Every structure is written in structure tokens, then in C-alpha cells.
Amino acid sequence: MWKKKKMHIGMVAAIAMAAVAIVNVGPARWSGVSQAVAATAQQKAQGRQALNRIMTSLRAVDTAYASGNGAEARKRFNQARSTWNGIAPMISTREAREAQLLFDSLANQLKSGAPATQVSSTVAGMLGELREDIERELQ
């Protein structure tokens, strides 16, 4: 009888520990949505404003680079990336990673002197990603 009680207590303890682990990890972490859940309405509103500034800076990157002003393009890119670093923690890890890869790609293009058409294409892709996926997460 005592063996059965010990086994029952052990099973209950294991189930309780598993439940605590599930609550602490949560389904949001399983799907890569850990940080977005924690953002408050005010943070999301500020994130949307920052996202608009990022998109404006990226358009300026494209315009400056196309007109041959690489220094201005890099300056605007740095502004966009700095602002991005502030809102990245508010969105899902997956979406933040995708956008970060686009930022890295654009940085490499600006650094290497890629053709303006390539930079323009990358900026257009970034704007689409930000508009469709990131903006949705900040709603």
C-alpha cells in the first residue's frame, strides 16, 4: 500500500512540475511569439510610430543611393537600423530575425557598392515585410 502511495505522489509531483514548465514556457514560446505577447498597448503604439520612421528612412536610403549619394544612404540606413533595434524586442523572434536578415543584406549591399537596382529591390522587399508582417504584430 505504501509503495502505491509513493508512486501516486511521485506521479502527481511529476505532473505538477510538467504543468509548471508548460506555464513558464507557454505555447507562445513554442511558436516563436514570446516577446510580442509582453508588449503593452502603449509600447505597440510607439512601435508603430517607430515603424513608420523606419519605413521613411528606408525610402530615403533608396532615393539617396539611386542618386549616387552613398554617404546619405548609409546615414539614413543607420537611422533605420537604430530605430529597428528599439522595436525588434516587441515582435516575435521569427519575424524579428527575418527583418534582421534583410537589414544585414542591405548593409552589405551599401558597403559593397551594389547596383542601385539591387538596393532598390532589397528596400522594396523590406518595406513589404515591415508593412505586412511587422505592422500586423504591432496591432
Mean pLDDT, 10 residues at a time, the chain of 139 residues: 50 44 41 52 88 96 96 97 92 92 96 96 94 87
Strands (E), the chain: none
- Is pTM beyond 0.75? Reply is no
Contact 68, 101 (CB under 8 A): no
Number of helices (H), then strands (E), in the chain: 7, 0
Q: Domain 40-137: which CATH class?
A: mainly alpha
